[in-house]
Structure 1
């Protein structure tokens, strides 16, 4: 494999690995928010922001962890036939199907970008009583979809290398 591709795979994998390891701890942020929600509802006045903030934290946790999950191969697969295949046959199949993933992610990114630009242009807010701005979570979603596309390309290059019998 050319040095440029090897460098690309190393950089994208390193960025997504570090970000994924960091984002893993966001589950504690969400638990803390929900714990505060329970405490405030029981002993004080209920907080308006807790449920929606927990949802935002969960979206960030899920979306930013996606590229790392793809890198680890911990995504869900229909393992009816795939588990019995050789590594080379799996690489062929993965190299083909990654284009479907990239197309899907491209459509998501296009829609997310349109929604984010609308949100930024009109200072869009949630319709709940708390009324937070929506652009921060939309930017997070677009960033995570972009990182997922980069990781999918990295996985494609690793599959091609596996098919050729070369290691990256």
Structure 2
């Protein structure tokens, strides 16, 4: 069982590390889109697509970069008590709190899947002048939620190994 858990952690961490490193460059995509928006509004006709494209890029940046953030432990914590605890106590606390995170992410995923199905079935479009289809970003959000769930389970496994005093 422990070799299966170690393999799971290794595979999930590798996938999310690679995707996270790619998504780090998403900030440059957003900068380019918003720069073009400023230039086109100043010198040409304003582009209809820039604001929504920047919003879609930002959603993908945050949602698909989220698993990497979880992996790095760069999520927000209240260090008033946590910072002074031993590694074993931190692992126990993280095992408890990750259950809430997984529950929350599953609820988000179920809602996202339902919304994506609706979007695909009815060809849902944004109500703006540009009117892009919404299903691509909804699919990206669902993929991000799945990856965050997988990474949260990976963190749970790591914490269990820490509690048992085993290296992962």
Q: TM-score when scaled to structure 1?
A: 0.99
The Cα of 1:79 is off from its aligned counterpart by 1.3
Cα distance in structure 2, aligned partners of 1:167 and 1:49: 50
Matched pairs, number:
168
The Cα of 1:2 is off from its aligned counterpart by 1.3
Cα distance in structure 2, aligned partners of 1:76 and 1:2: 29
The equivalent of 1:149 in structure 2 is 149
SS in 2 for 1:132: coil
Cα distance in structure 2, aligned partners of 1:26 and 1:98: 27
Cα distance in structure 2, aligned partners of 1:79 and 1:46: 46
The equivalent of 1:26 in structure 2 is 26
Q: Within the alignment, does 1:91 sit opposite 2:86 as a pair?
A: no
The equivalent of 2:74 in structure 1 is 74
- Which residues in structure 2 correspond to 1:95-110 (within 5 Å)? 95-110=95-110
SS in 1 for 2:78: coil
Unaligned 5+ segments in structure 2 are: none
- Which residues in structure 2 correspond to 1:6-85 (within 5 Å)? 6-85=6-85
SS in 2 for 1:84: coil
Consecutive aligned runs of 4 or more in structure 1 exceeding 3 Å deviation? none
Q: TM-score when scaled to structure 2?
A: 0.99
The Cα of 1:47 is off from its aligned counterpart by 0.2
Cα distance in structure 2, aligned partners of 1:24 and 1:56: 15
